[in-house]
Amino acid sequence: MITQEIKNFLDLQKLGYVATVTIDGKPNISPKGTIIGWTSEVLAFADIRSPDTIKNLQSNPNVEINVIDPLLRKGYLFKGQARIIKDGSLYDEILNHYRKKGIKSPINSIVLVDVSDVSEVTSPLYDMGISEQEIKSKWKKHFESL
């Protein structure tokens, strides 16, 4: 499900969005810069400054995660059930992974997402026959002009 290609994509992209639901049923979306493909069925992200996300997941573990390459306008949508870990050997292993990647922020917990569905996300521009290179060039120029 989470292929090596997807894991590599997640390693390159530095920002994704995690969608949860509040206890009163309202949507909540939060940016995360630590989303990784831990196994072929599990994503992980660090709780660095995520009190609302954690609170929401404690009452409703359903989650969607969206990671998109901002230049190519392609990415993935993941759906699944979250588990929060704060200690143990798996926590230590993932924490060590983040530290080796240079993340120095305090990590309160780690969220594991048992992925039930992965789908590709692409811009409607591809439906119009516009090439990946044209799309990348357009958005690269856009970001360079900022």
- pLDDT (tens digit, 9 = 90+) per residue, 11-28? 999 899 999 999 999 999
Render pLDDT for 108-127 as a digit per residue (tens, 0 to 9).
999 999 999 999 999 999 99
In the chain the domains, ranked by start, together with CATH numbers, are: 4-144 (2.30.110.10)
pLDDT digits (tens, 9 = 90+) for 38-94: 999 999 999 999 999 999 999 999 999 999 999 999 999 999 999 999 999 999 999
What letter would DSSP give residue 126? G
Its pTM stands at 0.92
The residues near 84 (Cβ < 8 Å, ≥ 6 apart) are 47, 54, 57, 58, 109, 110, 111, 112
